[in-house]
Structure formats: C-alpha cells, structure tokens
C-alpha cells in the first residue's frame, strides 16, 4: 500500500469519531476527483474500524434530493446499500442538536442552517473531527472541533 494522502490520525492524534459532511459522501459515491481518493481513505478507516464514522440525517436529505428529483431510483438504492454496508452511524436531529445549531448560527450568521445542524451533530455526539470541503466551516473550530478541509490535501 502506498503512502496515504490523508491520515486522520496525523491531523488529530486523538481522533476516535469522525462526522462526515455530505460532500464527502458525494465525492466518494460519484467518484469525483480529485477528492475521491481522499474520501476513500476516510471510508477505509471506517470499514477497518480505526475510527467511528458518523453522518447526520441532514446529509441523507442533502444527498438524496438530486437522485430523487431526477427519478434515479437506482442511485437511491445504491446509497441505501452503501450506508448499510458500513458501520456508519446515522444520527437524527434532536432538540439539543437544534439548540446547538442555533448557537452556532447566532455567532456565525453566514453558516447555513443545514451546515450548522450537521456540525452541531458532531458537537453533541462526541465527534472530535469533522471532514468537509467547505472552508467557511473551519471557523467552527472555535467550538472545540477539528475541521478537516479536503482541499487542503489536494
């Protein structure tokens, strides 16, 4: 195996749980370069149980909207099979997550509601690392979360 481009443990040696942004799912499942290989490394760590992988139920909504609008039932089924094949945890939005998202947005009004809910999911569920490609979300590290931007590794 060649050297890794993205080793989460080199970014945060205490990484145990990683919340994935919707973009990571899209890059991986749609094979979008140059991010596909980076996303693959993250998913390999989840499959190998080196880290606990988590996504917000919000990401399911974001990911499935386009295939459903386009009538691509096979893409929807492929996504369901993919999630079922991983030991990835899908977390629902709770009152505590919604309140934490409101706190994030009150301090950073430019952060979209969906993004605030996704990041709040990490904060409320002991995920210490958030993998995204939205550099605007890096500012949310002020809440004690390590934010990894895939573009920084391209």
Which CATH number does the domain housing residue 95 bear? 3.40.50.1010
Count of structural domains, the chain: 1
67 located within any domain = yes
The answer to whether residue 14 is domain-embedded is no
11 occurs within a structural domain: no
H-helix or E-strand containing 39? helix 36-47
Tens-place pLDDT, residues 79-133:
999 988 888 899 999 999 999 999 999 999 999 999 999 999 999 998 889 999 9
Q: Which pLDDT band, with edges at 50, 70 and 90, does 13 fall under?
A: low
Three-class secondary structure of residue 147 per DSSP: strand
* Strand 17-20 versus strand 129-132 pairing type: parallel
Contact assessment for residue 56 and residue 93, using Cβ atoms and an 8 Å cutoff: yes
> What does pTM read for this prediction?
0.88
Lowest-confidence range among 11-15, 89-93, 138-142, 144-148?
Answer: 11-15
Q: What is the DSSP letter of 139?
A: G
* Res 154: pLDDT: 84
Give the residue numbers spanning the domain of 35.
Answer: 21-153
Q: Specify if 76 maps to a domain.
A: yes
What pLDDT shows up at residue 2? 43
The answer as to whether 12 is a domain residue is: no
Q: State residue 128's pLDDT score.
A: 87
30 domain-assigned: yes
Strand pairing report for 88-91 and 129-132? unpaired
| Model pLDDT for residues 17-61, shown as the tens digit of each residue | 899 999 999 999 999 999 999 999 999 888 888 888 999 999 999
Cβ pair 136, 111 in contact under 8 A: yes
DSSP letter at 5 equals S
pLDDT of amino acid 11: 56
6: in domain: no
The two beta strands, 52-56 and 17-20, are parallel
Given a cut of 60, is residue 149 above it in pLDDT? yes
- In the structure encoding, which two tokens stand for residue 125, read together? 């569920």
Give 96's contacts (C-beta < 8 A, 6+ positions apart).
Answer: 124
């Amino acid at each position: 195996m060649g050297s890794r481009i993205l080793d989460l443990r080199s970014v945060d040696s205490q990484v145990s749980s990683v919340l994935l942004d919707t973009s990571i799912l899209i890059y991986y499942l749609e094979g979008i370069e140059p991010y596909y290989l980076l996303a693959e490394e993250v998913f390999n760590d989840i499959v190998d149980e080196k880290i606990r992988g988590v996504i917000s139920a919000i990401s399911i909504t974001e990911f499935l909207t386009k295939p459903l609008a386009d009538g691509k039932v096979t893409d929807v089924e492929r996504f369901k099979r993919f999630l079922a094949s991983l030991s990835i945890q899908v977390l629902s939005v709770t009152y505590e997550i919604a309140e934490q998202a409101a706190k994030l947005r009150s301090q950073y009004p430019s952060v979209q509601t969906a993004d605030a809910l996704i990041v709040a999911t990490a904060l409320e569920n002991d995920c210490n690392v958030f993998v995204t490609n939205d550099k605007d979300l890096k500012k949310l590290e002020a809440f004690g979360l390590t934010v990894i931007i895939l573009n920084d590794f391209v």
